[in-house]
Structure 1
Amino acid sequence: MTLPVSAAAAASADPAQLHAPYAEAVRRSTAGDWLRLNVPGHAADPDRFAGLAGHLGEQVLRLDVPPLLEGIDLGPDNPMEQALRLAADAWGARRTWFLTNGASQGNRIAALVAQALGRTLVVQRSVHSSVVDGLVLSGLGAAFVQPSVDRRTGIAHGVSAGDLAVALARHPQAAAAYVVTPSYFGAVADVAALARVAHTAGVPLIVDEAWGSHFGFHPDLPANALAQGADLVVSSTHKLGGALTQAAMLHLGEGPFADRLEPLVERVFHLTQSTSASALLLASLDEARRALVCGRDGISASLAAAEAMRAAVRAGGRFRVVSDGFGRFRDIVAADPLRVSVDVRAGGITGHEARRRLMQEHGVLVEVATDAAVVAVVGAGAGPDAERFAAALHALPAEAGVSGRPLDLVLPEPGPVRMTAREAFLSPGRPVPAAEAVGRVSADTLSAYPPGIPNVLPGEEITADLVDFLQNVAAAPTGHVRGAADPAVATLRIVEP
């Protein structure tokens, strides 16, 4: 196997990082002449399972080995144990777990672990839906910290240490503090300050760093959350870290709560991880770690490509680079340079239409679109064609009726909490006309896009202001309310009394 150019640098620090012991052990196992009478049922037979082999390739079938094999993940100091230690060393963790159900699994694990530490989770309001799932599973109550929102674009960012301190002071029996950084649009919060606030309050800091698995692997990238004092970090390694889709990691920091957290995480990990975890996903995590540690030169090229994309946006004069406005927000201390977020509404086209045209007319896929923006991501080690992106972007036509003026988005206050998310989720519910839902308890999570912050959570009271806001968003040409019983939000699902 050809190693990255900067592999010598990794070898000088720790030669073991040049290897991917689990992935290499899986590959070695394919060399044997095996009569496979175990699962998976395709038995690595490309002739009898020609459809699957034709879709994935014969080698993928051979690499699809089951768990609990001697010399792979069974026996003293087996390759899987070695791979986990190397990952922990690479990210600066006390311990690392490989996840095969995405960062969503990590968020659910973290919420379930927090349940053993207290009854209320102090959590950033703009968390991923899997954290809300964790609240349902754990039965925890939640106290929310509102993120900053760019009213001009409808983009949510992060939370400040001051706002977190206020929330923790109001909930002295909190289980943990839970924040998201970086944001979908690349905004990086002051994790060191957030960790100090949480630890002063006597609680661990849990960080959903799903979008920052590459942080810390190049001098021009922000430091990762573990290096700044986070106690438990969810890392979606498949996003920009190079693993296969659905592959992620959970890292435990070397902080004041490590001794208490480690056995809890281990138990909950086994509760949530499949007993038939995919060797393909696990091996991709091992390989992604090696590539990140050994791939500084490749990451340099990725950083240059992303900066070339931003420079082309600025030079065109029509659109705006979202991160150029990050300095206006006190909660943002850095930007992820591998994220290229573009305010396309400034150039007379909505994000949703821009994304559709980029894909259908130019063969350019971007990660996400909102009413105002599109987000392109450059994986660590990837080398996209910056000129092709810029040419496609500037070829987009202006939409009739789309103004380049800022959105001036104002969010309504959430309604009071009447039940835990778990109680509401498990209670009988029924849809009612929206007007009748006012004053009742929501059975669902409803999030208006933009900006994707949950406006209503299970267990919260539905207010008239919230109904008006959600219906206005739904009525907009590119508006969308995730979780709504119907697209127009004419009905809402409430908890039966």
Structure 2
Amino acid sequence: MENKSPQNKAPIYEALKWYKNQRIVPFDVPGHKQGRGNKQLKEFLGEDCLSVDVNSMKPLDNLCHPTSVIKEAEELAAEAFGADSAFFMVNGTTSAVQAMIMSVCKEGDKIIMPRNVHRSAINSLILIGANPIYINPGIHKRLGISLGMSLKDIEEAIKEHPDAKAVFVNNPTYYGICSDLREIVKLAHSHGMYVLVDEAHGTHFYFDKRLPVSAMEAGADMAAVSIHKTGGSLTQSSMLLMKNEKINPHYVRTIINLTQTTSGSYLLLSSLDIARRNLALHGEEIFEEVVSIAEYARSEINKIGGYYAFSKEIVNGDNVFDFDITKLTVNTLDVGLAGIEAYDILRDDYGIQIELGDIGNILSIISVGDTRYNIERLVSALSEIKRIHTKDKKGIFDHEYINPIVKKSPKEAFYAEKESILISESEGRITGEFVMCYPPGIPILAPGELITKEAIECILASKEKGSLITGPEDMDINEIQVLK
């Protein structure tokens, strides 16, 4: 973009710089008073950081009711992402996902969604009492990962539940797999349903035409976008994007304010403002390099043998309609290692921290901050791991997604009378809590679902291999809360 474009402005960042230069004496919160009250914190984070960790005030606007610099920053973000409205979120994409669902659904309403959603989506159903109409994503047999949503399955769900309020789509999935979003939008809109997109891993789709279509370009009504994941803002900062045609943005702000903090962090807000400016002005060349690095890494890893770093060859025009080539997922099963084992070895023996290891794969996020030198380190580490650790893959549990059998609504199960029993003895009972590996935070079991033998095997196999399992009240993951 040319420099005269308003996209080279960063209103929140500029207002904070002005505030800093005013040398204002603070008799407001936060109590550390620009770091003077917490010297250790100031030494750790730096005076520059703490001097702009400030409270909402007239010159700096208010996130709950923006009228000046935050309003202007959100308008610039909407323009940059092709949306009608954008909301800066400081409670993570979790709160953006929940705001989307809570803006279009109420108690008793139905919402069509894939079962491999992030827990934040199911949590919102617990909060408002909406009922999920789950679509089971396909499983890629070779890779053991869950795929996107098939148009045929959505058509069937709409036919069976014509009163559903919305279709919720993960696009892309954690592994970079995309559904046919344009056709899903046409289908849902033709039946009077909203389309909500969990686009946590899709910031870069807005800035590179070689990547899959973005939610706003596909015509979705709302999208939750984790700018911090691949766009360069601080952890926990996110955006909620929307088209105003079918949904009132002022109502959405009211919904956001039900759960979002009234003390929005200016560190997070300014990071969104600066990241948006950087992406709007330089996104094309940034992601051109990201794509190039990811493709190089894939090619080098596949040359090692044993590993399989997949790409667009898995596209099938249906539940793998497109693939995000910036995602570097490597299947490790033919080396005889579970993904989580390779994940631990990379960190403990090679000082390389990747995003996740599941049963069969490791996932590296390639983004604005990666270099070719770091890719070389990853490739050489994987080569050495293969040489040292190759073993027979017999006995490795080869997939993670479990087809759910829903017996109660998430809200009903979550608030029901429960008792704690051993996971190993829970087959046939109805779970009252989540069980999931984190990351990615996709439940193996969610409240209201029947506990099957397959689910128990998956939990125990994941635990044995060293996955971080979250959800149950029992921190040792031996027991599970079930309905009485």
Aligned residue runs from structure 1 range 100-139, under 5 A: 100-116=90-106, 119-139=109-129
Structure 1 distance, partners of 2:185, 2:99, is 20
Q: Which amino acid aligns with 1:34?
A: I
Which residue number in structure 1 is paired with residue 327 of structure 2?
Answer: 339
Instruction: Report the TM-score, using the length of structure 2 for normalisation.
Output: 0.91
Which residue number in structure 2 is paired with residue 192 of structure 1?
Answer: 182
1:349 aligned to 337, 359, 368, which one?
337
Structure 2 distance, partners of 1:377, 1:450, is 13
Question: Given the superposition, is the C-alpha separation of residues 45 and 444 from structure 1 closer, same or farther in structure 2, using an over 3 Å criterion?
Answer: closer
Is 1:290 the counterpart of 2:277? The answer is yes
Question: Given the superposition, is the C-alpha separation of residues 263 and 34 from structure 1 closer, same or farther in structure 2, using an over 3 Å criterion?
Answer: closer
How far apart are 1:287 and its partner, in Å?
A: 0.7
How far apart are 1:461 and its partner, in Å?
A: 3.2
Q: Which amino acid aligns with 2:215?
A: A
Which residue number in structure 2 is paired with residue 421 of structure 1?
Answer: 410
Q: Which amino acid aligns with 1:267?
A: T
Structure 2 distance, partners of 1:258, 1:105, is 18
Q: Which amino acid aligns with 2:267?
A: L
Structure 2 distance, partners of 1:59, 1:127, is 39
Structure 1 distance, partners of 2:371, 2:195, is 34
1:300 aligned to 288, 292, 296, which one?
288
Structure 2 distance, partners of 1:193, 1:477, is 39
Aligned partner of residue 340 in structure 1, secondary structure: strand
Aligned partner of residue 168 in structure 1, secondary structure: helix
CA contact (8 A) 2:147 2:320 kept: yes
1:369 aligned to 357, 377, 395, which one?
357
Q: Which moved more, 1:97-106 or 1:221-230?
A: 221-230
Q: Which amino acid aligns with 2:383?
A: H
CA contact (8 A) 1:441 1:461 kept: yes
Question: Given the superposition, is the C-alpha separation of residues 402 and 289 from structure 1 closer, same or farther in structure 2, using an over 3 Å criterion?
Answer: farther
Which residue number in structure 1 is paired with residue 58 of structure 2?
Answer: 69
Aligned partner of residue 364 in structure 1, secondary structure: coil
2:255 aligned to 268, 284, 287, which one?
268
CA contact (8 A) 1:169 1:201 kept: no
CA contact (8 A) 2:145 2:399 kept: no
Aligned residue runs from structure 1 range 158-197, under 5 A: 158-197=148-187
Q: Which runs of 5+ in 1 are unaligned?
A: 1-8
How far apart are 1:407 and its partner, in Å?
A: 5.8
Aligned partner of residue 126 in structure 1, secondary structure: coil
Structure 2 distance, partners of 1:177, 1:347, is 39
Q: Which amino acid aligns with 2:324?
A: D
CA contact (8 A) 2:228 2:238 kept: yes
Structure 2 distance, partners of 1:79, 1:220, is 33
Across the aligned residues of Structure 1 and Structure 2, the Cα RMSD in angstroms comes to: 2.8
Is 1:440 the counterpart of 2:418? The answer is no
Aligned partner of residue 163 in structure 1, secondary structure: helix
CA contact (8 A) 2:341 2:465 kept: no
How far apart are 1:429 and its partner, in Å?
A: 1.4
Question: Given the superposition, is the C-alpha separation of residues 433 and 24 from structure 1 closer, same or farther in structure 2, using an over 3 Å criterion?
Answer: same
CA contact (8 A) 2:438 2:467 kept: yes
Which residue number in structure 2 is paired with residue 222 of structure 1?
Answer: 212
1:150 aligned to 137, 140, 144, which one?
140
Structure 1 distance, partners of 2:147, 2:441, is 11
CA contact (8 A) 1:470 1:481 kept: no
How far apart are 1:327 and its partner, in Å?
A: 2.5
1:43 aligned to 11, 33, 42, which one?
33
> CA deviation digits over 1:311-349, x for unaligned, max 9?
211222331113355225721222212211111222333
Q: Which amino acid aligns with 2:75?
A: R
Aligned partner of residue 268 in structure 2, secondary structure: helix
Report how many residues are paired: 480
Question: Given the superposition, is the C-alpha separation of residues 251 and 486 from structure 1 closer, same or farther in structure 2, using an over 3 Å criterion?
Answer: same
CA contact (8 A) 2:424 2:456 kept: no
Which residue number in structure 1 is paired with residue 445 of structure 2?
Answer: 456
How far apart are 1:402 and its partner, in Å?
A: 4.0
Question: Given the superposition, is the C-alpha separation of residues 217 and 34 from structure 1 closer, same or farther in structure 2, using an over 3 Å criterion?
Answer: same
Aligned partner of residue 395 in structure 1, secondary structure: helix
Which residue number in structure 2 is paired with residue 320 of structure 1?
Answer: 308
How far apart are 1:124 and its partner, in Å?
A: 0.9
Instruction: Report the TM-score, using the length of structure 1 for normalisation.
Output: 0.89
Is 1:11 the counterpart of 2:35? The answer is no
Structure 2 distance, partners of 1:81, 1:468, is 49
Structure 1 distance, partners of 2:99, 2:216, is 17
Aligned residue runs from structure 1 range 469-488, under 5 A: 469-470=457-458, 473-474=461-462, 477-478=465-466, 482-484=470-472
Structure 1 distance, partners of 2:370, 2:423, is 47
CA contact (8 A) 2:423 2:456 kept: no
Which residue number in structure 2 is paired with residue 4 of structure 1?
Answer: none
Q: Which runs of 5+ in 2 are unaligned?
A: none
Which residue number in structure 2 is paired with residue 6 of structure 1?
Answer: none
How far apart are 1:163 and its partner, in Å?
A: 1.0
> CA deviation digits over 1:86-106, x for unaligned, max 9?
000011111010000110001
CA contact (8 A) 1:192 1:229 kept: yes
2:267 aligned to 280, 288, 291, which one?
280
CA contact (8 A) 1:345 1:402 kept: no
Q: Which amino acid aligns with 1:414?
A: P
CA contact (8 A) 1:424 1:459 kept: yes
Q: Which moved more, 1:465-474 or 1:297-306?
A: 465-474
How far apart are 1:273 and its partner, in Å?
A: 1.5
Structure 1 distance, partners of 2:355, 2:425, is 38
Aligned partner of residue 412 in structure 2, secondary structure: helix
Q: Which amino acid aligns with 1:153?
A: L
Is 1:394 the counterpart of 2:383? The answer is yes
Aligned partner of residue 108 in structure 1, secondary structure: helix
Q: Which moved more, 1:202-211 or 1:189-198?
A: 189-198
Structure 2 distance, partners of 1:490, 1:250, is 38
Q: Which amino acid aligns with 1:225?
A: A
- Stretches (4+) displaced over 6 A: 448-452
Structure 1 distance, partners of 2:101, 2:123, is 9
How far apart are 1:268 and its partner, in Å?
A: 0.6
Structure 2 distance, partners of 1:410, 1:247, is 29
